[in-house]
Structure 1
Amino acid sequence: MTFILSNLSFHSPMNLCWLCLLEFLKLDECPISTSIKLSDFHGLDYGSGMATSFFHGYLKIMLPNTGGSSRSFLEFIELYQAQHKVTFDVRKLFILLPMSCECFPSLQCPSFPNIEESKPLDELERDVAGVKKRIYKNSVYKIKKPNRERVYVSVEYATPLRTFKEVISHNSKYSKIYEKYKNDIVLNFYLTLKAILKENPQCDGLCEVIYYNDKNPDGSYKNVGNLILKRIKEIRGTLKKKKD
């Protein structure tokens, strides 16, 4: 229900009815009420703000071909394939959005035993906001399939989630309220980012956003390598159907 209502307009008659019902039943603190209230900010909530900044401050710089002398993400992929004699099954930047906001420094870690680090893509230099030759680069990992074949993929966490987790973990003015509504904020981050990408086709086809529950019932972390392999299989299946 939270997922559905997070996109609703607070000022619609339906939502006004919801709010009257919530007020009558004294359910002001329930997740449904929270999602409706967050939607009333029309993009000014924390999650939407993070998504907008992430797109314009990073993805829009890294991904598309701007027509200048700098290489695009696809050109970096093609160069990498030629230099290292490998092939990317899907030539996209995979962005991970774990619901817990836990972003490991590297995807090569005990929780993901089938993921290995590889050399990163070449660096992109840009002059940004007074910073000369700021460096942007994307990581590359090898994910081992059950048949031991290795799949190359460019994948990383959405870095704003790491910052958000830091905000929550510190005893600041808004930490407790952010922690209380963390799930709604992360969901709004995902929904807003997907909407922005859809509005920018020059980036949408180069980015695959994976929003997922990263915890097992026992508290351990799910193997995101298997999740990425599953998504790659789905993408390749869709592309094959389009060709047929």
Structure 2
Amino acid sequence: MHCPQDHEALVPRPRGSLPKVCAGVLAAIAIGGVTCVSPEKVFGWVAMIILMLTLGPLLHAICLLAEEMLYHANTRYRGRGLLSHVLPACGLGGKTLLAAGLAGLLLHLAGNPLPHQGQSWKLLFLASALYALFKSLGVLGPSEVEVSDICEGRKMNVAHGLAWSFYLGYLQLVLPRLEESIAAFRASHQSGSSSWGRGSRKLLILIPLNANISHKLEEEDNNIQFYDNLPNTEINRAGVRGRVYKHSVYRVQDEHGKGRQCVVEYATPLLTMYKMSQESSAGFGEPERRQQVLLFYKTLQDVLEGSLECRNHYTLILLNDELGDDPHYLSKAILRHLQQQEKEEFCLTPPPHQEMVHPFASAPPSAPPSAPSMNGCWHHPEPMSREPTLMFSLEKPQPLKEPVESTDHYQGAK
């Protein structure tokens, strides 16, 4: 399911490469300006600065390596190789070493850019040592944006784990069986089967931004009333024989009292987020919780869109708590999504009473009709009884026939 238009302003988009472009532009402007002032020393200065920026992280990586090798080699790395695991984990990667080596070679070829002999090497060593010190103290640590970018890029957020757990442990199991369960429910409740539209035959998953979930929907909105439960779904799961999964059917009324039946429930992992925000030891405050809820919604949406077995069996409804002053906000949001589902459905066949103008009504009498005539009235062709399919011919293509002249025309002209 695609995100509705009114939710596009809430759901964060993935971070792009604009910081890299800006950094490249700034570096080009700086190098161009220095080249105009001192073209003979620009290569030496660039090489020395690159060497400073790479030697500092290398010295800091050596400090990290000392800690890892002395106290965590067996517990965290389980005896894995030094070169293959420990060194890259500490930051002694190939890119940093290669950049430092190329910068050192360029500085050697360009010569000493400073007026006093040996002054550049002293500056290099001092700057690198101070960088390692400030990095260890956290002064040069990554910003919140950088940490967020790393966690989102590597799928390390709480929201990513909860979304995948919700999908693999619940939705992937029950959604493929949902249509069969709803059909059995409608067969046993004939009186209310008329209010089931196409959108009602999906599982409506509510995702409130504040993650505060009520266990009874009628407590949130009196226009929502519990109707009944769908037949239980029993699945053998993790050693439990016949583990029961169930869904509840609710009757949602609009402002005119007209009711619709649908299967609605909250996304249960949001309870975990809400409880974590209430625990000080979790380090998970209200601003972080809101961001994680949005990431949960986006991740779950992407996962479900790529699942063939769950497709067309769900609807994600993001609830903005800032617009929750209306006591019937929840019922209106549910009905709005149900109506949207109904509008998205279209019929492949024309309506049975649709008037059709025969294409050959104004053609000359010699034109062959395409439909039989009975009692002087044209009858419409039968509507399609099934969905159109693609048909492929295995025969080789034949050449076009050459035009053949009609001799009757010329004989009549003589």
Change (3 A) 1:83 1:182: same
Question: Which one of the candidate residues 171, 192, 209 is aligned to 1:59?
Answer: 171
1:194 counterpart = 2:304: no
1:169-188, Cα deviation, whole Å (9 max, x unpaired): 1232x2x3353411221111
Where 1:202 maps in the other structure, the secondary structure is coil
1:204 CA displacement? 2.2
Residue aligning to 1:78: 183
Residue type of the alignment partner of 1:39: E
**What root-mean-square deviation, in Å, do the aligned CA atoms of Structure 1 and Structure 2 show?**
2.9
Overall identity of the aligned pairs, in %:
27
Does the Cα contact within 8 Å between 1:115 and 1:143 map onto a contact in 2?
yes
Letter matched to residue 186 of structure 2:
Q
Cα distance, 1:217 vs structure 2: 7.1
Match of 1:233 among 339, 351, 359: 339
Alignment counterpart, residue 114 of structure 1, candidates 201, 223, 232:
223
User: Among residues 24, 40, 62, which one is paired with 2:153 in the alignment?
Assistant: 40
Deviation at residue 44 of structure 1 after TM alignment: 2.4
TM-score, length-normalised on structure 1?
0.80
Q: How much has 1:37 moved relative to structure 2?
A: 4.2
Structure having the larger proportion of residues in helix: 2
Structure 1 Cα separation of the partners of residues 206 and 23 of structure 2: 34
Between the aligned partners of 1:171 and 1:187, the Cα distance in structure 2 is 22
Mapping 1:1-244, distance limit 5 Å: 3-5=11-13, 7-8=14-15, 13-16=17-20, 28-29=143-144, 35-41=148-154, 43-64=155-176, 72-85=177-190, 86-87=192-193, 88-89=196-197, 90=199, 91-109=201-219, 111-172=220-281, 174=282, 176-216=283-323, 223-240=329-346
SS in 2 for 1:133: strand
Q: Larger RCO: Structure 1 or Structure 2 (Cα < 8 Å, ≥ 6 residues apart)?
A: 1
Q: CA 1:183–1:107 in 2, change beyond 3 Å: closer, same or farther?
A: same
Residue deviations 1:123-156, cap 9 Å, x none? 0111211222211001110001223121000010
- Where do 5+ consecutive residues of structure 2 fail to align? 1-8, 27-141, 351-414
Task: Give the match's secondary structure for 1:240.
Answer: coil
Aligned residues between the structures: 222
| Letter in structure 1 aligned against 2:207 | L
Unaligned runs of 5+ in 1: 22-26, 65-71
In structure 2, the CA distance between the partners of 1:216 and 1:136, relative to structure 1 (3 Å rule), is same
Task: Tell me which protein shows more strand as a share of its residues.
Answer: 1
Deviation at 1:38, TM superposition (A): 3.6
Q: 1:3 to 1:145 in 2, by over 3 A?
A: closer
| C-alpha separation in 2, matches of 1:146 and 1:226 | 9
- Identify if the C-alpha distance between structure 1 residues 190 and 18 changes in structure 2 by more than 3 Å, giving closer, same or farther: farther
